[in-house]
Amino acid sequence: MSDLLTGHLRGHYRAIGIDTEPQSASVTFVGVERMDVLRFGPDRDGVYHHVSLGCSRHPMADPSAVAVDPVRGPRAEVVVSLRGGAPGPGLARSLAVIAATPAVDGVVLAADLLVDLGSALWQGAPFTAVLLQSSGIPDLVLEPPRDPVRFLAAVPITPTEAAWVRLKGAAALRQAWTDDGVDVLDPNRRALSPR
């Protein structure tokens, strides 16, 4: 599955001008299968794309389900896209933690889901959570009856923005970003203080 995912991602990123091989990091947790993180980039706009590999090994399941289907069910990988070079140590580990939440906490990753880590996404970052949304990467179709793998963009957000999502919803925060001209790909962006 890992080779299939990597080939799919290489094809996608080649199409947007990234011809170099991705850099790779592996993260392990006790009781959870290894998570890998690939870094593609930069693209034509100077954006690096960090993609999890391992979340989609198994379908995600509602922890309250009586029986878990080992084949059918939603599958996903997570993408963090940031302008410029490496923002600081720790991003690969944070991305792996987010990708491991279905296995550890029984969370089904989907668009508009807030995943709050409660600590900086990388050293010195003001961001402690991510807001998931569509990444624009086409789904990877698997052999039936397995569901396709979706690629979800994880947009880094501050504690204030996370509180805004809990209070007003994901759409309201995205509208506030648009209204204020916030570049969510900028790892040094100012923290938005929605009203």
Residue at 188 is within a domain: no
58/55 Cα distance (integer angstroms): 7
- b/e sequence 113-135, b meaning 16+ C-beta within 10 Å: bbbeeeebbbeebbbbbbbbbeb
Q: How confident is the model over 113-160, as pLDDT tens digits?
A: 999 999 999 999 999 999 999 999 999 999 999 999 999 999 999 999
User: What is the arithmetic mean of pLDDT over 67-79?
Assistant: 89
pLDDT at 66 over 80: no
Nearest CA to 160 out of 126, 188, 183 is that of 126
pLDDT at residue number 32 = 85
27/96 Cα distance (integer angstroms): 7
Q: Give the range of the structural domain holding residue 32, as residue numbers without chain letter.
A: 2-180
pLDDT at 193 over 70: no
pLDDT at 13 over 70: yes
* More confident: 106 or 99: 99
Residue at 154 is within a domain: yes
Q: How confident is the model over 18-37, as pLDDT tens digits?
A: 999 999 999 998 888 999 99
DSSP annotation of 68 reads -
Which residues touch 67 (CB under 8 Å, ≥6 apart)? none
Residue at 38 is within a domain: yes
Task: Say how many domains are in the chain.
Answer: 1
CA distances from 103 to 16, 39, 51, 126, 189 (A): 32, 23, 17, 27, 32
Provide the pLDDT confidence category of residue 46 given band limits of 50, 70 and 90. very high
Question: Look-up: residue for tokens 């140590």?
Answer: 89
- Report the residue count for the chain: 195
pLDDT at 169 over 80: yes
E-strand stretches of the chain:
23-29, 32-40, 47-53, 75-83, 114-116, 129-134, 149-157
Residue at 92 is within a domain: yes
pLDDT at 173 over 80: yes
Residue at 187 is within a domain: no
Residue at 95 is within a domain: yes
pTM over 0.85: yes
Sheet holding 47-53, edge to edge: 23-29, 32-40, 47-53, 75-83, 149-157, 129-134, 114-116
Percent of the chain whose pLDDT exceeds 90: 82
Write the burial class of residue 62 (CB in 10 Å: 0-12 exposed, 13-18 middle, 19+ buried).
Answer: exposed
pLDDT at 182 over 80: yes
Residue at 160 is within a domain: yes
Residue at 193 is within a domain: no
188/87 Cα distance (integer angstroms): 8
pLDDT at residue number 78 = 98
